[in-house]
Amino acid sequence: MPRRLSIVVVLLAAATFVSCARSPAAPKGEILWDHYGVPHIFAATREDMFYQEGWAQMSAQADLLLQLYGESRGRAAEYWGASHAALDRWVQLNGVPERAREWYDAQDPAFRKYLDAFAAGINDYATAHLDKITPEYRVVLPVTGVDVVGHPLRAVHYGYMASPSRMEREVRAFQNAAKSSGAATKVAEVQRDDEAFAAGSNTWSLAPSRTTTGHAMLLINPHLEWGNTFYRYMEMQLTAPDYDFYGTPQIGFPVPVIGFNRHAGWGRTVNTIDTVDFYKLTLKDDGYLFDGQVKPFERSTKTIKVKQADGSFTEETIEIRRSVHGPVVYDENGLTVAMRVAGLDRPRMLEQWFRMSEATTLDQFKQALQVMAVPMWHANYADDQGHIMFVFDGLVPRRSGQDYAYWSKIVPGDTSETLWTDYLTFDELPKSIDPEAGYHHNANEPPWDVTMPHLDRTKYPSYVAPTGEALPQMRVLRSLTLITAAPKVTYEQFVANKHSTRMELADRVLPDLLAAANGKTEAARVLAQWDRTTDADSRGGVLFQLFYEKYFVNEAGIAPKLKVKFDPDRPLDTARGLADPKGALAALAAAADECMTRYGALDVKWGDVYRFASGTADLPGNGGAGSSGLFRTIAFTKKVGNKYYAANGETIVCAIEFGPSQRANCVLGYGNASQPGSPHLEDQLPLMVEKTLHPVLRDRPEIEAQLESRESF
């Protein structure tokens, strides 16, 4: 395990040098922090690299990292009080602490040393800089390699996938279906759309045939929650012998989950994979029925400590029952539900991500995916040999039959016919490699239309993904419009397309709305002058968004309101026009009244209403909801007065051209630090306003030209 030999911090602005704990031993590396607070880690060994990464994450994100580890231990209420008790119950009910230990013990010994090194870097930073950690979070220290495994386990399997909110939605859908026959499928589809929006993404890859330089290009563009959550990313470069990767781990993860090395890279989007099933149990004789027999529950108890305001503790006992499917997660109103989660038997998730980041060729990347331990996400790959590949990646349970809609609901738990025990292999997953069309695009829709010609979904079990026949989110159609607009693009056009704030829905329905209005209202005249973008200075977008909310937002969604229905074989020519022009005019009049009441003008600037904020910065925003057809997706859902602030959407954005000399630019809008008082809470936000990216610094001379500080180990 590496030990901190010395720390030398160079504060360039003050031109001062501080050193401590000097050692005569050979240096193990250094961290060069650039002016955006991005750590560039240069390590003598891979073990040292993980150590320095743990140190770097603590330097920028100490409070958040320790909070997340405390939550993933299932001890947050013990540390910070009753408001955390519900999460502790979920973590403990699902056995996350025990499985974290099992996963840690199951790691390859060499990789386990990397995890221990990451933990050591966290602990050594805390020892050296305890004063920089908010006192309430110090209780989590020290951390161990088990924490390093346990937090990603909790975040992925019980945050992204089997979250309490998902369980609650599935239960509501089942109960609603019982009241209204046939409602279940519709509710299930709406649920998945909501989840994809809450944790969604965009990604593109272009083959050499689609670029003017003849080099492949890749767009990395996840949309996730802003703020201090397990979704938060940190931008960094990791360098060690035979390893040089630029990307982003989520805070507390010891490995990047997206990014690129000198030869290849990948982006990811949340896919429509069903990795969690809920089973309705039939109770009998203190057990449950299964294949005609009464089976006993496996029973246990756990105790949760809850810190009180006066510093004392109370204790709460959790009674746990497990069926053959998994733990009972709901038992109310005559409904008892157990939950089964894919991937709990695949402990190599972190190692797989690391192998993906090592891969410099298509074959190596395929081999990394074949570890089959990362349970979800599309993988969209490109490299400097001109290859592109898109994989509907993850662990699809090998089910006995039925389709996606069936498994999206609560299923019978009294028969082994619904109990899966294995997964589809990598070769059985939908994928596209070097397609004829020369592109892959995805914005969280099913995988079938990722390129042209479409993937043949009849070659795969019907439970793998939705059919793709329903109208997708308008963001998906905007993505397709942008990526097919020109036969070839320059790198600059590629980046400009990514930043497009044009609203696809407006292009598809505004002509009919204006024709119906016939220029007779001021609202119609404002929309006729509108450029159909949501740039900060754009006038008319606020009014149209209010119109969208009044006309299109309803339980049935956008599709019934469109005159020309969606045809998946003609996506750019269909899903347009207004089915009810009279109703649309009434909605526009109501939107105009509300716009005047709120803002005193119909042509208020978009950026006066929709804002970006981080740290102390409060700036005009751009982009908007994917449901309105914004590829630059920002959910402005935090309302303060009559202004709306970004709470979800664009996080890390990277555009890479894989030529002989790689070209790469990125931005992390909410900044590369979460620690209170850091200047890097807000310094990248102006780039979001300007719709631009910063150059990726890879080599020492260019990093040192933009150096903020240096730490030597």
For residue range 611-620, list pLDDT tens digits in order. Answer: 999 999 999 9
First-last CA distance in the chain:
14
Angle among Cα 1, 265, 37 to the nearest 5 degrees reads 60
Distances (CA, A) of 595 to 118, 140, 186, 591: 52, 49, 32, 6
Annotate 551-578 with b (16+ C-beta within 10 A) or e (fewer). Answer: bbeeeebbeebbeeebebeebeebbbbb
Do residues 381 and 205 touch, judged by C-beta distance below 8 A?
yes
Q: What are phi and psi of 593, to 5 degrees?
A: -60, -45
The superfamily (CATH) of domain 7-161 is: Penicillin Amidohydrolase, domain 1 (1.10.439.10)
Within 13 Å, how many C-alpha atoms sit on residue 408's CB side? 24
The H or E element spanning position 411 is strand 411-412
Whether 10 has a pLDDT exceeding 60, the answer reads: no
Q: How far apart (Å, rounded) are the C-alpha atoms in residues 631 and 204?
A: 12
Q: What is the mean pLDDT of residues 270-289?
A: 97
Within 13 Å, how many C-alpha atoms sit on residue 8's CB side? 13
Q: What is the pLDDT of residue 18?
A: 33
pLDDT tier at 16 (50, 70, 90 boundaries)? very low
pLDDT (tens digit per residue) in 543-571: 999 999 999 998 889 999 999 999 999 99
Report the CATH number of the 195-270+346-473+485-497 domain.
3.60.20.10
Range(s) of the chain covered by CATH 1.10.439.10: 7-161
What percent of the chain has a predicted confidence (pLDDT) above 90?
92
Contacts of 568 (CB under 8 A, 6+ apart): 448, 449, 454, 468, 469
Angle among Cα 186, 376, 229 to the nearest 5 degrees reads 90
Q: How far is CA 225 from the centre of its chain?
A: 8
Q: How far apart (Å, rounded) are the C-alpha atoms in residues 141 and 368?
A: 33
Angular region, 18: left φ>0, alpha ψ -120 to 50, beta rest: beta
User: What are the E-state strand segments in 114-216?
Assistant: 200-206
pLDDT (tens digit per residue) in 70-116: 999 999 999 999 999 999 999 999 999 999 999 999 999 999 999 99
User: What are the E-state strand segments in 516-633?
Assistant: 562-564, 576-578, 610-614, 617-620
Q: What is the pLDDT of residue 28?
A: 82
Distances (CA, A) of 430 to 189, 447, 462, 541, 665: 21, 7, 12, 38, 30
Range(s) of the chain covered by CATH 3.60.20.10: 195-270+346-473+485-497
pLDDT (tens digit per residue) in 127-141: 999 999 999 999 999
Range(s) of the chain covered by CATH 1.10.1400.10: 502-622
pLDDT (tens digit per residue) in 441-500: 999 999 999 999 999 999 999 999 999 999 999 999 999 999 999 999 999 999 999 999
Q: What is the pLDDT of residue 181?
A: 60
Residue in the block written with tokens 């829905």: 505
Do residues 118 and 143 touch, judged by C-beta distance below 8 A?
no
Q: What is the pLDDT of residue 509?
A: 98
Q: What is the mean pLDDT of residues 31-46?
A: 98
Q: What are phi and psi of 303, to 5 degrees?
A: -120, 130
Q: What is the pLDDT of residue 180?
A: 75
pLDDT (tens digit per residue) in 493-541: 999 999 999 999 999 999 999 999 999 999 999 999 999 999 999 999 9
Taking 3-state DSSP, the helix, strand and coil percentages for the chain, each rounded to the nearest 5, stand at: 35, 25, 35
Amino acid at 694: H
Do residues 174 and 410 touch, judged by C-beta distance below 8 A?
yes
- CA-CA-CA-CA torsion sign (159, 192, 355, 101): positive
Residues designated catalytic: 201, 223, 650
Q: What is the pLDDT of residue 15?
A: 30
Q: Which of 518, 542, 522 is nearest to 609 (CA)?
A: 542
Residue 561 is encoded by which pair of tokens?
Answer: 């309101």
Do residues 266 and 365 touch, judged by C-beta distance below 8 A?
yes
Q: What is the pLDDT of residue 34?
A: 98
> 85-93 and 164-179 are packed helices; what angle lies between their axes, rounded to 10 degrees?
80
Q: CB burial class (10 A; 0-12, 13-18, 19+) of residue 583?
A: middle
Report the CATH number of the 502-622 domain.
1.10.1400.10
